[in-house]
């Protein structure tokens, strides 16, 4: 069976992936399935085996896998510029819609109709259910032994105690690498360092960038370079899917930076759940509330930059590196830690969103639907039911 990539102009390539972006409903599984069905099974650009190898790389690396696959196919078709156009086309519909919704949200805050406020309350409850389901789904895939489960619990405890996420993730990754390599003395030393980090966190451990972020935000102004830094840092740490970006942006925007409330953060997540885009596009909302139009552009650019860069610059070397056993063990440990961070964020957001019996009921029904309904558009179904609940019960 012949596998050839059809020649097409830059414009045609961009429009093809723009169409993919406009149809990107249902989360990463549906998005990846759509790309594979059209480009691999129907048009046979590459073999299924080659597709699986590429997908395996992007499942290990940070960033939304569907977006990275689009960049990969664009690069195969027309080189690096083709990859850039494909990735841009895929993310553009979601970005434009989220940008427009962010503007409407900010402009209407002073005159938000009571009905809309009730709808957002219900959607916030549904978002907590979405995040809780994501913790289980990602954990079921990533925590394939007891040690990794324990590292996720350590990540949860460390985050709630105040350990800086970069230190916590580095330690759990190094611990799992050392343990799997049989270096028990090293793994014991790392465990002691983690305990010391938890103790030290009680006194407030923050990087210089976070101090600058906090001081500028709480003085009423978030500098645009720091918004870009927040996006880039978050984009580099999204191991395990788009939901893993939530704790990093929530920490910067709500806990450290203070330019958003948890209510607003949940609203942004709720809006992203109804758009044809990777959930990571809610970064546009976070950036808009932090720095207006330019803030939205910079934070979105920062968060998508690693997804472009890893593919366009170093796909082949990274494919070789990620096959090394030691590297995979280190990244497995980091992914387990990220699962713990998402769980910690769920614990922090739940009291905000579930402040009434009605909200708790919406969250419970939403969670049940997410487990029972296996359709690719189950997220849209849940958000639609939340809107209906907001109209009827709040």
pLDDT in tens, the chain (394 residues): 556 788 889 999 999 999 999 988 777 777 888 899 999 999 999 988 888 888 888 887 888 889 999 999 999 999 999 999 999 999 999 999 999 999 999 888 755 555 677 888 888 888 888 888 888 888 888 898 899 999 999 999 998 888 888 888 889 999 999 999 999 899 999 999 988 988 887 665 455 455 555 555 454 567 899 999 999 999 998 876 778 889 999 999 998 888 999 999 999 998 888 888 888 999 999 999 999 999 999 999 999 999 899 889 887 787 777 778 888 889 889 889 988 988 998 898 888 888 888 889 999 999 999 898 877 677 778 888 888 888 887 6
pLDDT in tens, 201-231: 766 545 545 555 555 545 456 789 999 999 9
List CB contacts of 139: < 8 A, sequence separation 6 or more.
Answer: 149, 152, 339
Q: Assign 276 to helix, strand or coil.
A: coil
- Looking at the domain assignment, is residue 66 inside a domain? no
Q: Are 331 and 318 in contact (CB under 8 A)?
A: no
CA 229 remoteness from chain centre: 16
pLDDT in tens, 51-68: 888 888 888 788 888 999
- Looking at the domain assignment, is residue 109 inside a domain? no
Instruction: Map tokens 């696959």 to a residue.
Output: 69
- Looking at the domain assignment, is residue 12 inside a domain? no
Closest CA to 123 of 244, 303, 275: 275
pLDDT in tens, 296-345: 999 999 999 998 998 898 877 877 777 788 888 898 898 899 889 889 98
Burial of 220 (0-12, 13-18, 19+ CB in 10 A): exposed
**What are 273's two structure tokens?**
């759940």
- Looking at the domain assignment, is residue 71 inside a domain? no
pTM of the model: 0.82
- Looking at the domain assignment, is residue 270 inside a domain? yes
Instruction: Map tokens 């494909």 to a residue.
Output: 86
Domain count, the chain: 1
Cβ neighbours, 10 Å, residue 394: 18
- Looking at the domain assignment, is residue 217 inside a domain? yes
Q: Are 390 and 119 in contact (CB under 8 A)?
A: yes
Closest CA to 345 of 263, 250, 259: 250
- Looking at the domain assignment, is residue 72 inside a domain? no
- Looking at the domain assignment, is residue 253 inside a domain? yes
Can you give the residue range of the structural domain that contains 293?
Answer: 115-393
């Amino acid at each position: 069976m012949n596998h050839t990539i059809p020649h097409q102009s830059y414009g045609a390539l961009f429009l093809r992936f723009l169409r993919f972006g406009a149809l990107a409903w249902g989360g990463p599984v549906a998005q990846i399935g759509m790309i594979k069905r059209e480009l691999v099974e129907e048009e046979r650009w590459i073999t299924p085996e080659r597709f699986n190898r590429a997908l395996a790389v992007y499942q290990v690396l940070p960033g939304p896998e569907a977006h990275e696959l689009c960049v990969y196919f664009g690069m195969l078709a027309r080189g690096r510029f083709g990859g850039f156009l494909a990735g841009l086309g895929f993310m553009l519909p979601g970005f434009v819609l989220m940008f427009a919704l962010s503007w409407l949200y900010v402009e209407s805050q002073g005159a938000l109709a009571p009905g809309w406020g009730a709808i957002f309350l219900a959607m916030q409850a549904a978002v907590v259910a979405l995040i809780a389901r994501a913790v289980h789904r990602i954990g079921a895939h990533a925590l394939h032994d007891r040690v990794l489960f324990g590292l996720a619990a350590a990540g949860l405890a460390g985050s709630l105690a105040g350990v800086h996420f970069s230190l916590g993730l580095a330690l759990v990754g190094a611990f799992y690498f050392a343990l799997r390599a049989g270096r028990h003395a090293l793994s014991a030393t790392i465990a002691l360092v983690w305990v010391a980090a938890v103790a030290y966190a009680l006194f407030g451990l923050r990087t210089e960038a976070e101090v600058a972020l906090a001081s500028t935000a709480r003085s009423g102004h978030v500098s645009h370079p720091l918004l870009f830094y927040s996006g880039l840092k978050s984009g580099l740490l999204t191991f395990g899917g788009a939901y893993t970006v939530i704790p990093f942006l929530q920490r910067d925007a709500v806990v450290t930076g203070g330019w958003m409330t948890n209510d607003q953060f949940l609203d942004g997540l709720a809006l992203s759940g109804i758009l044809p885009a990777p959930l990571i596009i809610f970064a546009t909302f976070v950036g808009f509330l932090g720095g207006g139009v330019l803030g939205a552009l910079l934070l979105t650019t920062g968060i998508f930059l690693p997804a472009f860069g890893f593919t366009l610059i170093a796909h082949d070397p990274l494919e070789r590196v990620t096959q090394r056993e030691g590297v995979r063990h280190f990244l497995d440990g980091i992914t387990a830690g990220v699962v713990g961070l998402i769980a910690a964020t769920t614990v922090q957001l739940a009291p905000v969103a579930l402040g009434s019996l009605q909200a708790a009921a919406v969250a419970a029904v939403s969670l049940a639907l997410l487990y029972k309904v296996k359709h690719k558009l189950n997220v849209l179904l849940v958000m639609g039911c939340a809107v209906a609940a907001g109209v009827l019960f709040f």
